[in-house]
């Protein structure tokens, strides 16, 4: 009887550990290939096109990171964050944040500077889009960070710099 209880406790413990750490995510990439969003104006042939507001390249922090983060203003006024040729490590509960700092080379910068939660990372590889809220002040939030909420770890960051009115 004690042996059966011990086995059940061990199994429960292992399931909880698996749920917390999600070790399979270290080996399985999730690839996303989203097209750039178009608006009704663009598809109707309007002369307006998306404008690049800010952009920057990812650099690794706790994990390798590469690719570009670009924030566009669409003709309808919406702002979209787009990752292109993006790649980083996978992990449990990985999120996308806009950070109120010029760059984030560590975990403390993200937590101390403040951030806006954009949403869960759609995939650790590939092109992807994230809608930004109207309160995303690009004069304050100057970096994009890939953040593992489960462990409080900054995977990778892209410092964003203003661009000279480039269309998308």
Concatenate the DSSP letters of all residues of 50-119 into one string.
-EEEEEEE-EESSS-EEEEEEEEE-TTS-EEEEEEEEEE---TTEEEEEESSS---SHHHHHHH-EEEEE
DSSP structure class, residue 23: G
Tokens of 110: 């993200």
pLDDT at 135: 75
Q: How confident is the model at residue 162 (pLDDT cuts 50, 70, 90)?
A: very high
Render pLDDT for 87-127 as a digit per residue (tens, 0 to 9): 999 988 999 999 999 999 999 999 999 999 999 999 999 99
Res 92: pLDDT: 86
Percent pLDDT > 90 in the chain is: 63
**Burial bucket for residue 41 (CB in 10 Å: 0-12, 13-18, 19+):** middle
- Average confidence score pLDDT of the chain: 88
pLDDT given at position 47: 61
What pLDDT, on a 0 to 100 scale, did the predictor assign at position 8?
87
The domain defined by 40-167 folds into Immunoglobulin-like (2.60.40)
pLDDT above 90 for 13: no
User: What average pLDDT does this structure show over 33-50?
Assistant: 72
């Amino acid at each position: 009887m004690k042996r059966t209880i011990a086995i059940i406790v061990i199994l429960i413990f292992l399931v909880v550990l698996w749920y917390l750490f999600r070790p399979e995510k270290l080996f399985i990439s999730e690839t996303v290939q989203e097209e750039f969003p178009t608006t009704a104006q663009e598809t109707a042939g309007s002369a307006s096109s998306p404008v690049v507001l800010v952009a920057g390249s990812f650099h690794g922090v706790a994990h390798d990171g590469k690719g570009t983060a670009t924030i566009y203003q669409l003709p309808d006024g919406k702002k979209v964050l787009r990752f292109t040729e993006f790649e980083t490590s996978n992990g449990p509960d990985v999120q996308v944040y806009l950070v109120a700092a010029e760059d984030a080379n560590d975990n403390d910068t993200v937590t101390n500077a403040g951030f806006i939660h954009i949403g869960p990372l759609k995939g650790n590889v590939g092109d992807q889009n994230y809608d930004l809220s109207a309160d995303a002040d690009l004069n304050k939030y100057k970096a994009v960070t890939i953040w593992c909420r489960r462990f409080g770890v900054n995977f990778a960051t892209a410092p964003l710099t203003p661009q000279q009115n480039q269309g998308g």
